Amino acid sequence: MIQPILPFLLFFAIWPLSGDDPLATGFPTEASGNIRFQADVVLFEEDGVIAPEVSIAIPRDALEAELSDSLRVRVAVAMLDRDGQARVEYQTELPLDPDSTAGETSTFPVPERWLRLHPKWFEGTRGMRITVEDVTRLKVGLLDKLRGEHPAGVAEGRLDWPMRRLTDSDSDSDSDSDSDSELDPDSDAGTEFGSDSTAVDGGIFGADEADGLLMSGLLFAWAQADEKPASGLPGFRSVRARLHPNPFHYYGLHQPVMTVYWERYGLPPEVEDGAPLVLVHEITALEGAETVTVVRNEVAASNDSRWELQRFDVSKLASGAYRLDVRIERPDGTVLAATDGEFQVVWEKRRWTEDEQTLLRYAELLLLSRAEHESLLVMDRGAQEEFLRRFWDRLYPTSPGEPNPKEAEFLRRIEFANREFGTKAKEGYRTDQGRVFIRFGSPDEITFNLNPQDRELLAYVLPQEIDDPGESLEARLRQTKRRSLRDNRAYEVWDYFSQGDPLIPEFAGMQHGLKFIFVDELGVGDFLLVYSNLPGNLR
């Protein structure tokens, strides 16, 4: 694993960002673009200064589309202010061995190239934009090559700060400030604590950059790292370097033990050295807000910084999204500091390797209501797995962990559609023929004509094929309004004698079969649907 400190080129530049708000979501996150890497950022403290640690997992095949004796990536980390604008950017170029990946020597199921970066903190930072660019090769497009553009991916998000209990003096002194040091406990920016915690002094919780951290964020780890850390690293960086990070936050099938690392720094002003404290680790299922596990460890307060490591067996947890809350409390339950992080429990092998684009394709083809479709797309990976498992189990109940035959058939049809109906401009599942095939299976009868002549022309065939008894002759003739006797475009007619083999039963009351007529309107092999007796629209 490469661990540069990022002594990059430094640019003081301010520019507006276009598109979505880069601070709308936090880390971890998946990059967009040509290189769909995964990134996570955790805030630590080293020598009294905030020290972010960036973990990046780059898919191995993202950098090996062309063989090369050497690979080089350019990594840029931009520090974003509260408005999402970049105030400073660090850059570096790193060599990568094309024959070496951590994925081949570790237990992580997906071969990845791992980077761990430590950019210098810039005061006022509230988010990051991380760009990974493959400088070894150019994009495949002609214009891209002329412009010298390289494949790249971009991940951006806000930094979620560990929260601390602000004393009355902190609150009073900052009451006229616009900084983040004082947060309204009723606002979305505050931290909500469980019912087992009480704030006996009525304090305010916030993140005070000037006063530093009482505790770090949470580093979700996969396992112990294979390589030995370098010597002379600041703070507890040498301890963290012994852990293989898990920027995906996935656990379950390939790793049933979740390892979480964090650090605590000194004492709050109101706590004496040696006073008893309680470290609370609480796991909550996001669906239903049900507490799953609570671990309490009693420790003595110390002015010295300490690191903490906690492992959890998640083998009994169902698929879904969970949150781990970590709190430093007094014995009476008063919360002094708190941080949290979400993780996913995933038990199906395919879910570990699916990227967001694959999921979008998957969801687009399912017969979901608009609300269900929109809800699925914003779910975390574990929640998506649970949603889809319930969806397929409604059609064909299976035991937990077993493959669902209906889902397997759905995926087979997608693969067939991509192979048989795809064009240079469109994947097969997006074509009209592909969508009909995925939804209803193979037709019972296909009539096709690649070069129709005379009485086989569309002007003659369409009125004959439109056999819906609800359509009058006049209505059927309207279907041929723009079809002249010179129109010899290729066409196919698909007939299902009943309802075909639908994945999802839809039209139990239909008394007649289904018919679909496709025409190669542009002569490029993309047959468009021009008629169907299907009730409603084909999604």
Q: Token pair of 520, please? A: 């190669």
Q: Token pair of 412, please? A: 């087979």
Rounded Cα gap, residues 260 and 217, in angstroms: 10
In this structure, the chain runs to a length of: 539
Strand ranges for 250-305 from DSSP E: 250-252, 257-264, 276-285, 290-300
Same domain, 143 and 182: no
Is residue 361 included in any domain, yes or no? Answer: no
Residue 475, domain extent: 430-539
Is residue 358 included in any domain, yes or no? Answer: no
**Which residues lie below 8 Å from residue 331, measured CB to CB, with a gap of 6+?**
276, 277, 278, 298
Is residue 97 included in any domain, yes or no? Answer: yes
Angle, nearest 10°, between helix axes 432-440 and 405-421?
Answer: 160
Is residue 465 included in any domain, yes or no? Answer: yes
Same domain, 192 and 132: no
Same domain, 98 and 227: no
Is residue 372 included in any domain, yes or no? Answer: no
Question: DSSP string of 440-468?
Answer: H-S-SEEEEESS--GGGSHHHHHHHH---
Same domain, 152 and 255: no
Is residue 456 included in any domain, yes or no? Answer: yes
Rounded Cα gap, residues 504 and 472, in angstroms: 31
Same domain, 121 and 185: no
CATH number at residue 28: 2.60.40
**pLDDT at residue 189, as a whole number:** 31
Q: Please give the chain's pLDDT, 539 residues, in tens.
A: 444 444 333 333 333 333 468 888 899 998 988 888 899 999 999 988 899 999 998 887 777 544 455 678 899 999 999 899 999 999 988 877 654 444 444 455 665 678 899 999 998 899 999 999 988 776 444 454 555 577 899 999 999 888 876 554 444 444 333 333 222 323 333 333 233 333 334 445 556 565 667 899 999 999 887 777 777 788 899 999 999 999 999 999 889 999 999 999 988 777 888 999 999 999 999 888 899 999 999 999 988 999 999 999 999 998 888 999 999 999 999 899 999 999 999 887 777 766 656 666 666 666 677 777 777 777 777 777 778 888 888 888 887 667 888 888 988 998 899 999 988 888 888 899 998 998 899 999 998 777 666 556 665 666 666 665 555 555 555 555 566 556 777 888 898 887 788 877 765 556 568 889 898 878 778 888 888 877 666 65
Same domain, 92 and 193: no
Query: How many separate domains does the chain show?
Result: 3
Rounded Cα gap, residues 536 and 309, in angstroms: 57
Same domain, 48 and 108: yes
Same domain, 68 and 106: yes
**pLDDT at residue 134, as a whole number:** 87
**pLDDT at residue 298, as a whole number:** 95
Same domain, 321 and 181: yes
Domain boundary among 158, 179, 201: 158
Domain boundary among 287, 322, 346: 346
**pLDDT at residue 132, as a whole number:** 93
Say which DSSP state 142 is in.
H
Q: Token pair of 397, please? A: 């109940």
**pLDDT at residue 453, as a whole number:** 65
Same domain, 134 and 271: no
Domain boundary among 346, 361, 392: 346
**pLDDT at residue 394, as a whole number:** 84
Angstrom CA distances, 217 to 115, 157, 161, 197, stand at: 19, 15, 7, 20
Is residue 58 included in any domain, yes or no? Answer: yes
**pLDDT at residue 429, as a whole number:** 85
- The model's pLDDT over 253-289, given as tens digits with 9 standing for 90+, comes to 889 999 999 999 988 777 888 999 999 999 999 888 8
**pLDDT at residue 372, as a whole number:** 78
- Number of H-type helices and E-type strands within the chain: 12, 25
Is residue 237 included in any domain, yes or no? Answer: yes
Same domain, 124 and 233: no
CATH number at residue 308: 2.60.40.2550
- The model's pLDDT over 424-452, given as tens digits with 9 standing for 90+, comes to 888 888 899 998 998 899 999 998 777 66
Same domain, 187 and 318: yes
